[in-house]
């Protein structure tokens, strides 16, 4: 297996873990926030280094140089590949910006030590493909929210019951897989248990109430970071997608589609801002599963693009709602608040991220949503229609919430509610990524297409994996190196030519 030039993965994992130990000894909230930002920022730089280093290798997977974990376990435990390469910096960015946007008035209610520990576990999860190690990491990742709920003396029963069942189903399914099956002929019972665990972790209806309960009782930052990276989708891709029969994947797609439409409708009628956001996020994360389980290159490409765009856009949307909450307390959508004159930047970013999540033209979600709809229509026309309905309902819900929070009357408060400098920085970074990804989508789409091809090969249904040293172009969709292009592959499912997109996207 190819090696990275530096041990980026191990550094990205160890830095927040060490930072968690350091910050846990600090009793001053401001110092804990500063140290947390340092360690989280260092982890973000390491994940960006790993991603760029991986791109220069022109390989489909790689591990750290001087890999200590590999020397201990004699196996490639920490690996970066086409699927996980952009997920690592996305997760690290969300953690860094969440800590950065935490106001000083809230530092005593937000645990920076627990957040750094969660970041370390999440980055390890996204770097792991071994089934049992991944299951252990998924189980450990459920612990920090539980301790926060207990520390805040909030109800824990709903969360514990659902996450406990999630872990039990994972362990039981993988045990049956190891004892009674192989990768080519897995036992159906094992696949069904793993599928049930994945559906539970993703909050697919009717087992979605734990998400609304978590946002209701935990701090907004903790709940947002627990759901925004969509680690349940990653578990589906690693544990279920390679072994599940087509009928199981179709069942997942149908349940996810029903959940997406149901959650979009629920988001439209919510009168409490946190519940509105929970259903909005649930609708979009379910759409990702719809595309993933179509098991076609075009559907996979669209779903992987939507995965990244939803993580960025709804991550920013959640941070915006959290910033508004930190100024006014919990928001009700049953009345108008008129906050636009006090927080115009947050109002603009609220609208931008909300529209980006539904695939508004010119934003990072546009191309991914188009590909997802195209793939859904090719598989089942009625699926594409329901995807469009879910997106339309989500768009109406976003606009309804925006008008309720920022318009309707003048806010009577006299306290300065304008954005602070750290919040402006977070808004600027996410705005550049959302608009930049929308105006120049070719590299992202090409990367996700390569990952879709590789995932298809893992199921034995994909295209042959090309060895790439450069991004596909309009005249050269797949090329082995920069000097000797391979023959063009016309109308490859998942390629930009196949989608009939505007020509400027291929430049």
Question: Does 206 lie in the same domain as 320?
Answer: no
The pLDDT assigned to 503 comes to: 39
> What is the full DSSP assignment across 123-143?
HHHHTB--HHHHHHHHHHHTH
Domain ends where: 222, 244, 266?
A: 244
In a domain, residue 332? The reply is yes
Instruction: For residue 27, report the phi and psi dihedrals to the nearest 5 degrees.
Output: -105, -10
For 139-195, write each residue's pLDDT tens digit.
999 999 999 999 999 999 999 999 999 999 999 999 998 887 665 678 899 999 999
**Which of 68, 95, 129 finishes a domain?**
129
Q: Can you list the pairs that 55-61 forms with residues at least 24 positions away whose Cβ atoms lie under 8 Å?
A: 55/85, 57/2, 57/4, 58/467, 58/468, 58/469, 58/470, 59/2, 59/467, 60/450, 60/454, 60/465, 61/1, 61/2
pLDDT tens digits for range 478-496: 333 333 333 333 333 333 4
Residue 24 lies in a domain: yes
- 395 and 345, same structural domain? yes
Are 334 and 454 in the same domain?
A: yes
Claim to verify: residue 416 and residue 347 sit in the same structural domain:
yes
Based on C-alpha coordinates, what's the Rg of the chain? 22
- What pTM does this model have? 0.88
Domain span at residue 186 reads: 155-244
Joined together, the tokens standing for residue 266 give 């629920």
The answer on 182 and 269 residing in a single domain is no
Do 285 and 164 lie in one domain? The reply is no
70 or 392, greater pLDDT: 392
- Range list of H helices, 181-240: 188-202, 209-217, 220-227, 231-235
Strand partners, 61: 81
Q: Determine, yes or no, domain membership for 397.
A: yes
Tell me whether residue 140 is in a domain: no
Residue that terminates a domain, selected from 129, 147, 172: 129
Cβ pair 278, 351 in contact under 8 A: no
| Residues 280 and 357 sit within 8 Å (Cβ to Cβ) | yes
User: What's the pLDDT at 414?
Assistant: 62
Domain co-membership, 201 together with 298: no
Half-sphere exposure of 487 (CA within 13 A, CB side): 2
User: Do 238 and 115 belong together in one domain?
Assistant: no
Q: Is the dihedral of CA 403, 406, 407, 413 positive or negative?
A: positive
List pLDDT tens digits, range 416-462: 677 788 888 988 999 999 999 989 888 888 888 888 888 877 776 43
Residue 489 in any domain: the answer is: no
In a domain, residue 484? The reply is: no
Q: Is residue 272 part of a domain?
A: yes
The one-character DSSP state at 104 is G
Verify that 120 and 236 share a domain, yes or no.
no
Mark whether 200 and 318 lie in a shared domain.
no
pLDDT in tens, 6-55: 899 999 999 999 999 999 998 888 899 999 999 999 999 999 999 999 98
Count of the separate structural domains present in the chain? 3
> What CA–CA distance (Å, rounded) separates 62 from 79?
6
Shared domain for 275 and 177, answered yes or no, is no
Lowest-pLDDT choice from 101-110, 137-146, 302-311: 101-110
Structural domain includes residue 362: yes
Rounded Cα gap, residues 288 and 302, in angstroms: 8
Per-residue pLDDT band for 315 (boundaries 50, 70, 90) equals very high
pLDDT of amino acid 375: 80
Q: Both tokens of residue 53?
A: 């280093």
| Residue 296 shares a structural domain with residue 335 | yes
């Amino acid at each position: 297996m190819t090696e990275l030039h530096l041990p980026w993965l191990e550094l990205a994992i160890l830095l927040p873990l060490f930072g968690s130990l350091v910050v846990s000894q600090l009793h001053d909230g401001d110092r804990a926030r500063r140290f947390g930002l340092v360690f989280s920022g260092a982890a973000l730089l390491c994940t960006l280094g790993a991603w760029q280093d991986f791109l220069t290798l022109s390989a489909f997977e790689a591990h750290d140089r001087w890999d200590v974990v590999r020397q201990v376990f004699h196996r490639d435990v920490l690996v970066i590949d086409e699927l996980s390469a952009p997920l690592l910096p996305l997760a690290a960015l969300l953690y860094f910006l969440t800590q950065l946007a935490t106001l000083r008035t809230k530092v005593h209610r937000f645990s920076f030590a627990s957040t750094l520990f969660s970041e370390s576990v999440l980055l390890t999860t996204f770097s792991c493909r071994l089934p049992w190690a991944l299951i252990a990491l998924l189980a450990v990742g459920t612990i920090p929210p539980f301790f926060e709920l207990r520390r805040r003396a909030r109800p824990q029963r709903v969360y514990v019951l659902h996450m406990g069942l999630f872990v039990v189903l994972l362990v039981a399914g993988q045990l049956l897989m190891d004892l009674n099956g192989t990768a080519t002929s897995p036992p159906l019972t094992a696949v069904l248990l793993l599928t049930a665990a994945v559906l539970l972790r993703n909050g697919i209806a009717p087992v979605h109430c734990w998400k609304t309960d978590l946002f209701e009782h935990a701090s907004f930052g903790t709940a947002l970071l627990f759901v925004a990276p969509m680690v349940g989708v990653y578990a589906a891709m690693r544990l279920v997608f390679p072994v599940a029969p087509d009928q199981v994947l179709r069942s997942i797609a149908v349940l996810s589609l029903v959940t997406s439409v149901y959650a979009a409708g629920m988001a439209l009628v919510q009168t409490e801002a946190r519940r509105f956001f929970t259903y909005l996020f649930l609708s979009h994360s379910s759409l990702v599963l719809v595309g993933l389980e179509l098991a076609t290159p075009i559907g996979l490409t669209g779903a992987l693009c939507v995965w990244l765009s939803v993580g960025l856009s709804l991550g920013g949307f959640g941070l915006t709602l959290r910033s508004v909450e930190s100024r006014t307390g919990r928001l009700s959508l049953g009345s108008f608040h008129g906050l636009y004159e006090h927080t115009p930047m947050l109002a603009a970013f609220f609208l931008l991220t909300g529209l980006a999540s539904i695939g508004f033209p010119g934003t990072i979600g546009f191309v991914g949503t188009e590909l997802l709809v195209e793939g859904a229509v090719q598989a089942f026309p009625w699926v594409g229609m329901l995807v469009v309905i879910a997106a339309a309902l989500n768009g109406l819900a976003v606009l309804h919430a925006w008008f309720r929070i920022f318009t309707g009357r003048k806010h009577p408060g006299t306290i300065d509610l304008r954005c602070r400098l750290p919040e402006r920085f977070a808004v600027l970074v996410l705005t550049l990524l959302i608009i930049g990804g929308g105006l120049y989508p070719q590299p992202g789409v090409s990367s996700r297409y390569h990952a879709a091809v590789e995932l298809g090969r893992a199921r034995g249904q994909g295209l042959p994996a090309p060895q790439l040293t450069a991004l596909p172009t309009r005249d050269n969709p797949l090329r082995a190196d920069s000097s000797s292009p391979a023959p063009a592959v016309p109308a490859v499912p998942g390629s930009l030519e196949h989608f009939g997109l505007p020509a400027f996207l291929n430049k």
